[in-house]
Amino acid sequence: MRRLETRWGILMALPAILGFLIFTIGPMAASAFFSFTDWTIGASPSFIGLDNYTAMVGDELFWKSLTATTYYTLGSVPLVLIVSFAVAMLLNQKVRGLSAWRTIFYLPTLVPAIANVVLWIWIFNPDFGLLNSLLRQGGLPDSQWIYGESTAVPSLIIMSTWGFGNTMVIFLAGLQGVPRHLYEAVSIDGGGAWRRFWHVTLPMMTPTIFYNLVVGVVGTFQVFNQAYVMTEGGPNHATLFYVYYLFRKAFTESEMGYASALAWTLFMIIMVVTFLMFRNARRWVYYEMAGAR
């Protein structure tokens, strides 16, 4: 009977296993091989060893794309975490129409990516866009937003807060799991709202904050839609994000070998950054059963 259950279990899991091997492991193994070759679409790959990786050292656009992506990550992730955490705390209150408010704040996340980008192109338009119209009404100078080299990435960082719904929902779930008796203990000791937040809410939410931090960093290192649809990497390569540069190398310039090397370099960068975040998490992430780890 146990053997029969094992066979049926393997049989039921087989489609998922095959899908993972064929559509994930297979392409990863192929790209790892191609990263050591000089291969353009329509030609046969020729093995060149580590030349693709050493070529990155002298590739100005590689460093430009890595810098732009890091800049975007350092600006977008903290901003999204702060905004989504603040909204989650507001939506964790007992107020009238709470379900409607939660739906309203989550709706922007459901907007399709391209529709979202088209909407923000209008908002950022320097001539008749919403943001510059508000600035003019307030007597403030206009901005070029995504059309200015110095303001392009900050503009996209502002835009990233539009889709904070998923992060907000995770924070909201974490807030609802904070034990109520801890708040009561602080109140009995005479603590106010700030002490409840600082000594109870924030420590108990550190595992959730850490999870959203890791997911946010991994996600922003792979930002693509904004550069592809809105800016095409400009102006002057200011928004030439890493994955967009990889895409250009692969499907515009047909340098599939170099693009594969870029992909594996990004994989290693994300691995190292994630490892460092997990190592540092021991200092500030609090777990109820074991304190900070």
151: in domain: no
Q: Are strands 46-47 and 37-38 parallel, antiparallel or unpaired?
A: antiparallel
- What pLDDT is stored for residue 123 in this prediction? 94
CATH number, domain of 70, equals 1.10.3720.10
Task: Using alpha carbons, select from 107, 143, 149, 104 the residue that is nearest to residue 127.
Answer: 143
Tally of domains in the chain: 1
Please write the tens of the pLDDT for every residue from 183-231.
Answer: 889 888 888 889 999 999 999 999 999 999 999 999 999 999 899 999 9
What pTM was estimated for this model as a whole? 0.90
How many C-beta neighbours within 10 Å does residue 206 have? 17
* Domain presence at residue 38: no
What span, in angstroms and rounded, lies between the C-alpha atoms of 53 and 10? 40
Per-residue pLDDT, averaged over 172-180, amounts to 91
Please indicate, yes or no, if residue 119 is contained in any of the structural domains: no
pLDDT tens digits, residue range 65-87? 999 999 999 999 999 999 999 99
- pLDDT tens digits, residue range 41-70? 888 899 999 999 999 999 999 999 999 999
So what's the pLDDT on residue 157?
Answer: 95
CA distances from 26 to 18, 23, 166, 171, 189 (A): 10, 6, 30, 36, 60
SS3 97: coil
Q: Which two tokens stand for residue 4?
A: 């029969």
Tell me how far CA of residue 14 lies from CA of 5, 8, 95, 293, in angstroms. Answer: 14, 10, 48, 38
Instruction: Flag whether 129 is in a domain.
Output: no
- H helices of the chain, in order, are 2-20, 26-34, 51-57, 60-91, 98-110, 113-123, 130-137, 152-160, 165-176, 180-188, 193-196, 202-220, 225, 242-251, 256-281
> Does some domain include residue 31?
no
| Structural domain containing residue 91 | 56-108+164-292
pLDDT given at position 56: 95
User: How would DSSP label each residue in 196-261?
Assistant: HIIIIIHHHHHHHHHHHHHHHHHHHTT--HIIIIIITT-STTTT--HHHHHHHHHHTS-BHHHHHH
Q: What pLDDT score was predicted for residue 289?
A: 61
For residue 290, what pLDDT band results from cuts at 50, 70 and 90?
low
Please name the residue that has the structure tokens 């540069």: 245
| Residue 224, domain member (yes or no) | yes
CB proximity list for 148: less than 8 A, separation 6 or greater: 235
